[in-house]
Structure 1
Amino acid sequence: MTTIPRHYLFALASLFLGRDSSILQAITSQWSATASLSPPAASSVTPSGLTAPGASTSSRPHLPESDVSVPRTGPRSLQPSSTRAFPQLAALSAASDALVEDSVSERTKQTFKPGIAAYLEFCRSNSIVALSPTTENIVSFTTSLFVVRSLSLSSIRVYLAAVRYYLLCNGAAVDVLKSARLTAVLHGIERRQPPSALARRELSVDDLIHFRRYLQRSNYAYVDQTMLWASVTLAFYGLLRASEYLAPSIHTFDSQRALVWTAVSIAPDSVTLRLKVTKTRQSGDGGTVTVSSTGDETCPVLAMSEFRRTTAQACSAQPVFAFAEGNYLTPPCLNKILRQALNCNQVSSHSMRIGGATLLASRGASEAVIRRAGRWRSTASERYVRQVAGMPPQWTSSVASLRDRV
């Protein structure tokens, strides 16, 4: 068997991983740590992770019982004999661990913490090996979330996603999360759980018009009226997430994430946004979003053009949506204004994204088109579509059967 020189592998890693120093450091540390290793004896090494009494242990390191944080697998200290015999494979395995960990955003990792904690507690209480669950173990865990913890279906799905991430980070199999029995249990939960009275309501074109009338009657300065109108129409027709166009604080913003004027291009028939990051793309290039003219009074292109004409910040590197007094528009602020304008507590900054998806579906767009327009990477887009009058046949039955709303 031909051994690939270490310097050649390092050059390949540098080429593909670019400036990701954390992964390159993991590779170099693995080479240094394992360069003098000889193949280990056939006897197995017991890891310090979560195991049931008398159960066989995994050769991959994983979280100890007391650790309920999002898993972070560093350079491996325990390897199968075939891997330890070849340092290059150990180094690449450590690099793959780092890539798996970075497959979700830091915010998502925080969201996963309660799910991982609940799963580990369930395993401890029932003497289950956390990294070797059976299909029935996962089904029982899911049932306990609904029966014992009284979680909603949407929360249960997040917990299961957290378990999947935990298993992936520790090199365990995830096929147990794809069983037909688990799918049936989730469908049963869906049927038993009534639709939430607090589910967000979508915005419609009529709501947009009503919102504009409210702004015109309000005491907001004209420049602030144009700013609020532009933000709502752009989010509605662009299916924008709040984090993609609003600041997190009225006084501060993250220059690496915020939508600034220099990232906005306005043409006669479209507005193009160059997003720095999105929920599903955290690499610093969130891609572009092009919103076309609608040719009516809710046109986002006309709204953005008028807002740019009236604001003094139109050519700066400041957040696009800010009040004349200097405060940035935030999700809580926009939520309050929307609820006052529409006299409805079920609307929020997310209602525009829901409304935009529903509008596309009502006009005959396929699920694939909606997913692409909203930059979804899964079928989660289906949960954004609401039942409205005139819904095409291909959406009517599927939307009516969905109770797990966002």
Structure 2
Amino acid sequence: MPDPTANPRLKQIVEGACRMTVTQPDQRLPVTSELLGRLPSKLHLTSLIQYDQQMVWAAFTMAHRFLFRVSELTSPSPTAFNPSATLLLQDVCWNDTVLQLSIKQSKTDQHRKETTLFMSASEAPIIYNACVTYAQQRQHRQPPDLPFFINSSGRFLTRFDLKHALKITLPDGEDRARYSSHSFRIGGATSAAADGLSTEVICERERWKSSSFKRYIRPQRNVLNLIIFVGGKKKSSATFYMSATAVADLGVL
């Protein structure tokens, strides 16, 4: 009996039905710059020791600033990793002014060409300090050819760990069910757009090959964008939502 699914007419009908399928809106909420700045207060109250708090905070800020896909930042399991994909300590370099990350491959990199990302200390001081503070501690604990994110017990940071850490540090009143580890990438794109960055700049900085990042943009809950002037230069208030006490408790100042 001939295979009915091999009928060309049937294939056309199936393809047409697929095109007519209504895509459900993405219900995940973003970790915006404003929300990111409120996470340390709850993180400090967890049972994690200071080193693990610094690791989680560095992962939060790095995922948000560089719009990392979770697979680029974490390991597939607490005891195994993919050296050709996972971010390792040897992929991270820093000095007093610049943080540099080498990304070995990504979803949009079909030819697996290494990409180098940069961030200056003056551009985003809180994020720079969070990443460098953790990196300085990390380099004395485990070899450089192991994942960058390793906790005090020697276990690699996983997607589940990152998601769980976010859930327990969200402020009261947030709908935890609508946040995931991908909320950092969504929030980073949302915040970049809110800061007025052009499509070209966002695509280049965040490794998008098209304007597909626009589907990540979420409406801002605070329509008023307060502007603070520091040293004569305009700064977005989102950078300063975090209290100095909360940051100092994490040892990143």
**TM-score using structure 1 length:** 0.49
Residue in 1 aligned with 2:84? 256
5 Å-filtered alignment, 1:21-32, equals none
5 Å-filtered alignment, 1:232-251, equals 232-251=60-79
Quote how far apart the aligned CAs of 1:285 are: 2.8
Quote how far apart the aligned CAs of 1:241 are: 1.0
- Report Cα offsets for 1:345-369 as digits up to 9, x if no partner: 2112211111111111111111222
Residue in 1 aligned with 2:18? 145
Residue in 2 aligned with 1:131? none
Q: Aligned to 1:345, what secondary structure does the other structure show?
A: helix
Quote how far apart the aligned CAs of 1:323 are: 0.8
Q: Does 1:352 align with 2:235?
A: no
5 Å-filtered alignment, 1:285-296, equals 285-293=113-121
Q: Aligned to 2:113, what secondary structure does the other structure show?
A: coil
The AA in structure 1 aligned to 2:133 is E
Residue in 1 aligned with 2:103? 275
| 1: CA distance, partners of 2:122 / 2:161 | 27
Paired residues of 1:268 and 1:301 also in contact (CA < 8 A): no
The AA in structure 2 aligned to 1:200 is R
Residue in 2 aligned with 1:375? 207
Paired residues of 1:246 and 1:258 also in contact (CA < 8 A): yes
332 and 340 in structure 1: CA distance in 2 versus 1, 3 angstrom threshold: same
Paired residues of 1:280 and 1:377 also in contact (CA < 8 A): yes
Paired residues of 2:67 and 2:188 also in contact (CA < 8 A): yes
The AA in structure 2 aligned to 1:377 is K
> How high is the sequence identity, in percent, across the aligned residues?
27
- Report Cα offsets for 1:60-103 as digits up to 9, x if no partner: xxxxx98xxxxxxxxxxxxxxxxxxxxxxxxxxxxxxxxxxxxx
Aligned length: 217
Quote how far apart the aligned CAs of 1:146 are: 6.6
Matching residue within 129, 134, 139 for 1:302: 129
Task: List structure 1 runs of 4+ shifted beyond 4 angstroms.
Answer: 140-143, 294-297
- Report Cα offsets for 1:331-386 as digits up to 9, x if no partner: 11211221222151211221111111111111111122211122111221111111
Paired residues of 1:250 and 1:329 also in contact (CA < 8 A): yes
5 Å-filtered alignment, 1:150-229, equals 151-153=21-23, 195-196=25-26, 199-229=27-57
5 Å-filtered alignment, 1:336-351, equals 336-342=164-170, 343=174, 344-351=176-183
Quote how far apart the aligned CAs of 1:263 are: 0.9
**TM-score using structure 2 length:** 0.76
| 1: CA distance, partners of 2:117 / 2:128 | 13
294 and 241 in structure 1: CA distance in 2 versus 1, 3 angstrom threshold: farther
| Structure 2 unaligned spans of 5+ | 226-253
247 and 236 in structure 1: CA distance in 2 versus 1, 3 angstrom threshold: same
The AA in structure 2 aligned to 1:144 is A
| Structure 1 unaligned spans of 5+ | 1-64, 67-119, 129-136, 154-192, 392-406
Paired residues of 2:33 and 2:188 also in contact (CA < 8 A): no
Paired residues of 1:314 and 1:320 also in contact (CA < 8 A): no
| 1: CA distance, partners of 2:10 / 2:180 | 43
Residue in 1 aligned with 2:248? none
Q: Aligned to 1:327, what secondary structure does the other structure show?
A: coil
309 and 364 in structure 1: CA distance in 2 versus 1, 3 angstrom threshold: same
Residue in 1 aligned with 2:237? none
Paired residues of 2:30 and 2:218 also in contact (CA < 8 A): yes
Paired residues of 1:237 and 1:291 also in contact (CA < 8 A): no
Paired residues of 1:294 and 1:300 also in contact (CA < 8 A): no
| 2: CA distance, partners of 1:320 / 1:355 | 23
The AA in structure 1 aligned to 2:213 is S
5 Å-filtered alignment, 1:76-91, equals none
Paired residues of 2:56 and 2:165 also in contact (CA < 8 A): no
Residue in 2 aligned with 1:126? 9
Higher helix share: 1
Paired residues of 1:260 and 1:318 also in contact (CA < 8 A): yes
Q: Aligned to 1:271, what secondary structure does the other structure show?
A: strand
Q: Aligned to 2:94, what secondary structure does the other structure show?
A: strand
Compute the RMSD of aligned alpha carbons: 2.6
The AA in structure 2 aligned to 1:348 is S
| 2: CA distance, partners of 1:375 / 1:321 | 22
Larger relative CO (CA 8 A, sep 6+): 1 or 2?
2
Q: Does 1:326 align with 2:179?
A: no
Higher strand share: 2
Q: Aligned to 2:102, what secondary structure does the other structure show?
A: strand
